[in-house]
Structure 1
Amino acid sequence: MLNGKTIAFLVAPEGVEQVELTEPWKAVKQAGGTPRLISTDSGQIQGFNHLDKADEFAVDETVDEADPASFDGLVLPGGVANPDFLRTQPAAVRFVHTFFDTGKPVAAICHAPWTLVEADVVRGRTMTSWPSLQTDLRNAGATWVDQEVVVDTEGPNTLVTSRKPDDLKAFCQAATDVFGQ
């Protein structure tokens, strides 16, 4: 149980794979946590079902306003465009890096580890992702494995990674377990 813990969900203004946002969000709420949507811009973010526009979601705080110290964990949903945009935003990269600096758990699915590569926090970690990222992760110093979920405790924090939407059940369970510790 998350017992009121607050979990940041960092997403770009558009391009997040909707189900990779909504399913972990529901899991955090069902476990008694409070999810908060953080983005680079205020207003609404645009979810996607693969390449098709889906729903819009209200941003709670911008990454410039959000204080990582006020969160107990971080979720990085995937979608190709989402992490590709975030990794080009210095404030977003700093936000992510702070969770590693302070030892707070992070959960990333699908293409989201691209942002972790940019934050230079994957060296020495065992991870999974969408298969096309395996070379990027290996080049950044991670050990890439093809598993539905990986919980790595070898770094300064616990890192949960998964490959794709089909892995969401295992990802959500592992993430909420780790956030609840």
Structure 2
Amino acid sequence: MRMSHPEDEDDGALFRSAIGEVKPLRKVETSAITRPRPRPRARMAEQDEAQALGEFARLLHSSAPLEAGDVASYRRDTLTAHMFQRLKRGQYSVQDELDLHGAGVAQAEQLLREFLLDAHAHDHGCVRIIHGKGLQSDGGAPVLKNLVDRLLRQRNDVLAFHSAPPAQGGTGAVLVLLARR
């Protein structure tokens, strides 16, 4: 059994004996530290938003934008007229839905792309995208409605889309028919 010494009782003394002799650090001037650092900004997000707005503006000017009450409609040549009529009437079962209300342009585009990838991965045949009518959009043209219209037209996995029947959202939503895997 080990006998304890009075020195062993003092933790501070044990610590000082274990680390040995120390040298004090030089003093740091405090005048260089007094200026506050600038608040962080999400510069990349701001750049992405500006770029998305620029691309969206280019798309809007390439063709006449949809107005709040306009029907959004598109059909690939490979889709039969009968299937398109069923889509227009809302006769397909909606398997998933995305609501874009309150989203900015860049966020809405990202959400829409992710939603369509997920719908394709789950082999959904028909989905609904709620974009709103755009009655509160600045400048008159409904921003999200036109974004959805332009983006869906560019996608190979979209066979057709049409504004939903009044009971399913009317011109504030679109039903989208997707190609199977």
TM-score (norm 1): 0.26
The structure in which a higher percent of residues are strand is 1
Greater RCO structure (CA 8 Å; 6+ sep): 2
The structure in which a higher percent of residues are helix is 2
TM-score (norm 2): 0.26
| Rg larger in structure | 2
